[in-house]
Structure 1
């Protein structure tokens, strides 16, 4: 097994063994604050690149991702 394959397996094992803790962290207030800032920045950048032509779609995608991270 190559080093990369071994690393990927270790990462997968870690996620499987700690999935409950990972879910707790992803649903925390701190994760919500950080994710909101990151998602807002990415959405702003996407709107600048597209000249705002797809602002509704960008907002929908941003909101759907936001539902998966944090507690709001």
Structure 2
């Protein structure tokens, strides 16, 4: 499946670009904000840890 491998590489390259990094940071930040709102701010530390862990896997910065 060369097509899927190529698609995965392109997605990785996009996420590792400055524009991709900004987009992933914005998406993760929005998701974290919604999760924090949904829990009434009771789990902010855990949400921040999850956001940082996801960001370290997705981006390069």
TM-score range, shorter chain: 0.7 to 0.9
Please give the root-mean-square deviation of Cα atoms over the aligned residues, in Å.
1.8
Instruction: State which structure, 1 or 2, has the greater radius of gyration over its C-alpha atoms.
Output: 1
**Cα distance change, pair 52–25 in 1 and its aligned pair in 2 (3 A):** same
Segments of structure 2 that go 5 or more residues without pairing to the other structure are none
Query: How do 1:10-49 residues align onto structure 2 when only pairs under 5 Å count?
Result: 13-49=2-38
In the superposition, the TM-score normalised over structure 2's length comes to: 0.81
User: How many corresponding residue pairs?
Assistant: 61
Paired position in structure 2 for 1:7: none
- Poorly superposed stretches of 4+, deviation over 6 Å: none
In the superposition, the TM-score normalised over structure 1's length comes to: 0.70
Partners of 1:47 and 1:53 within 8 A in 2:
yes
Segments of structure 1 that go 5 or more residues without pairing to the other structure are 1-11
